[in-house]
Amino acid sequence: MSGTSNTPSPLRRARQLEMYRRAIRTLPGGANSNFRAWGEDTIYVDRGKGGRVWDIDGNEFVDLRMGYGPVILGHGDERVDDYVNGRMRQGVSFSLTSEDEVRALELVCELTGWVEMARMTVSGTEATMHLMRLARAFTGKDKIVKFEGQYHGLHDYALISVSPNNMADLGDADNPVGLAWGRGIPNAVANTIIPARFNNIERLRRLFEMQGHEIAAVIVEPVLGNAQGILPQEGFHKALRGAAEYFGITPDLASFAKAMGNGYPAAAFGGRRDIMSLLPDKVSHGGTYAGNRVAAAAVVKTLEIIRDTDALETVHRTGRRIQDGLREVVNEAGLPFHFTGHPSMFGIMFTEKVATEYRDWADTDHALYDAVAVGMQVRGAMPEPDSREPWFVCEAHAKDDSVDIAVSAFEESLKAALDARARGKLAGDRALGFGSAVGAADE
């Protein structure tokens, strides 16, 4: 592992660079997701265990990405893997229904307390896509309100006003425009999505006064995960009636993904019986791998662990321990900051002002944050090198010295970044990309 001194040895990258050059001949960007395509800094993973991950050059990191969130118990959790492996050996794909599927969705109903019926999908993208169709089918209306900055996956209806760097692209704050993320999204589809601003009930009220008659649903992430987990302000969800058990509000429909299967490709959507009952006769949903054996088994075991153990409390407590360490470091550095999100999935924004919506991210010192996140890698901890992405905590982080490593990597990296800035050499300040930031902050 890399040391934690202020001038750490550089990461070993030779094998990954070789793999990158090989991969880009076949995979666009050298990866299977745009979000992992980091040019020559693309990471090629060897393995993970608990809260740690190793790349193919043998560098070890405290993993603070956890696959963008799903691996809530830790990599290679034996309780889940043993159960899944047992099931898997009995055949994986039948396009028939197994008891684990029924059990998985019974657990979703039991744990939420308000979902009456649900169906499994393979990804969160599919889950939100099906929810939107169901809402449209149930109401007979076409338009869906979506909040700026919120990420609901990669289908055409979800890719509106998601992640621009330049807030001007979102249009006037009083009159946001629907900004398609990338080419290939038909205007006719984009025009069915009405952009709104998180935590801005007043604007939403006006929107409903003007267009309520054509709105099928409001889709909302309870926290704005795509901007470090910006929290809803008091009363926002109540006014919107759109967050579930944590905020004590009951939506009509909801999607579940990621953490429900500890990293196996499992997701679900569900909600009110009268809406879900449009399936199977009146609305299309299906899929060869919907409720596949591996995913269903993973959900059963993961949700049983979440129900029967203190795993979630451990995750929360560990997140708070990391936050306590960070708070001390940043206070000592005398920087203004705010934590965003929930301790299990939190962000830290260098800013005086509490961010309440995606547009506020632009006013934070994200150049500093990006340099710190990148610099943490050479110090043995890996948050996402993008100041919009929160840190993800898993149960296994509590079992070793992950918290200490994460905090000291942050501390050393912050020192290096501030030092680089003082010398006019902070890469982000010069609007350079991710790769260059490592060198600049650690010169």
Ligand X SMILES: Cc1ncc(COP(=O)(O)O)c(C=O)c1O
**Inter-residue contact 270 to 253 (CB < 8 Å):** yes
Question: Is there binding between residue 151 and ligand X (CB under 6 A)?
Answer: yes
For ligand X, the closer of residues 204 and 257 by Cβ is 257
Residue 246 bridge partners (DSSP): none
Residues 210-229 that bind ligand X (CB under 6 A): 221, 225
Residue 392 bridge partners (DSSP): 345
User: Shortest approach of ligand X to residue 339 CB, angstroms?
Assistant: 19
What element of type H or E holds 134? helix 124-139
Window contacting ligand X (CB under 6 A); options: 73-81, 147-155, 296-304, 379-387: 147-155
What element of type H or E holds 110? helix 99-112
Question: Is there binding between residue 257 and ligand X (CB under 6 A)?
Answer: yes
Distance CA 243, CA 266 (A): 21
For ligand X, the closer of residues 131 and 426 by Cβ is 131
Q: Write the CB contacts of 31 (distance below 8 Å, at least 6 apart in sequence).
A: 23, 37, 38, 42
Number of residues that this document lists for the chain: 443
Sheet holding 381-382: strands in order across? 45-49, 52-55, 60-63, 381-382
For ligand X, the closer of residues 227 and 326 by Cβ is 227
Residue 341 bridge partners (DSSP): 346
Distance CA 193, CA 350 (A): 32
Q: Calculate the alpha carbon distances from 306 to 72, 178, 262, 273, 315 in Å.
A: 10, 38, 10, 25, 11
For ligand X, the closer of residues 152 and 397 by Cβ is 152
Nearest to 121 by CA among 303, 301, 299, 292: 292
User: Shortest approach of ligand X to residue 160 CB, angstroms?
Assistant: 14
User: Shortest approach of ligand X to residue 440 CB, angstroms?
Assistant: 29
Identity at 302, one-letter amino acid code: T
Nearest to 101 by CA among 277, 238, 303, 380: 303
Among residues 125, 139, 233, 436, the one that binds ligand X under rule CB under 6 A = 125
User: Shortest approach of ligand X to residue 269 CB, angstroms?
Assistant: 11
Window contacting ligand X (CB under 6 A); options: 110-118, 120-128, 282-290, 349-357: 120-128
For ligand X, the closer of residues 63 and 221 by Cβ is 221
Distance CA 231, CA 46 (A): 35
User: Shortest approach of ligand X to residue 267 CB, angstroms?
Assistant: 6
Among residues 38, 68, 114, 247, the one that binds ligand X under rule CB under 6 A = 68
For ligand X, the closer of residues 254 and 306 by Cβ is 254
Window contacting ligand X (CB under 6 A); options: 118-126, 174-182, 194-202, 320-328: 118-126
* Strand, coil or helix: 377: helix
**Inter-residue contact 381 to 62 (CB < 8 Å):** yes
For ligand X, the closer of residues 115 and 418 by Cβ is 115
For ligand X, the closer of residues 127 and 414 by Cβ is 127
Among residues 42, 59, 112, 128, the one that binds ligand X under rule CB under 6 A = 128
Task: State the angle between helix axes of 293-308 and 311-333 in degrees (0 to 180), rounded to the nearest 10.
Answer: 80
Among residues 30, 67, 124, 390, the one that binds ligand X under rule CB under 6 A = 124
For ligand X, the closer of residues 258 and 379 by Cβ is 258
Find the residue with minimal CB distance to ligand X.
124
Window contacting ligand X (CB under 6 A); options: 13-21, 96-104, 148-156, 242-250: 148-156
User: Shortest approach of ligand X to residue 35 CB, angstroms?
Assistant: 8
Contacts with ligand X, 344-373, as mask; x by CB under 6 A:
------------------------------
Output the six-digit token pair for 219: 């889709």
Q: Write the CB contacts of 112 (distance below 8 Å, at least 6 apart in sequence).
A: 244, 245, 254
Question: Is there binding between residue 98 and ligand X (CB under 6 A)?
Answer: no
Task: Give the interface size with ligand X as a residue count (CB under 6 A).
Answer: 12
User: Shortest approach of ligand X to residue 416 CB, angstroms?
Assistant: 30
User: Shortest approach of ligand X to residue 144 CB, angstroms?
Assistant: 14
Distance CA 274, CA 146 (A): 23
Among residues 136, 152, 301, 366, the one that binds ligand X under rule CB under 6 A = 152
For ligand X, the closer of residues 311 and 345 by Cβ is 345
Q: Calculate the alpha carbon distances from 329 to 158, 324, 392 in Å.
A: 38, 9, 19
**Site of interaction with ligand X (CB under 6 A):** 68, 123-125, 128, 151-153, 221, 225, 257, 267
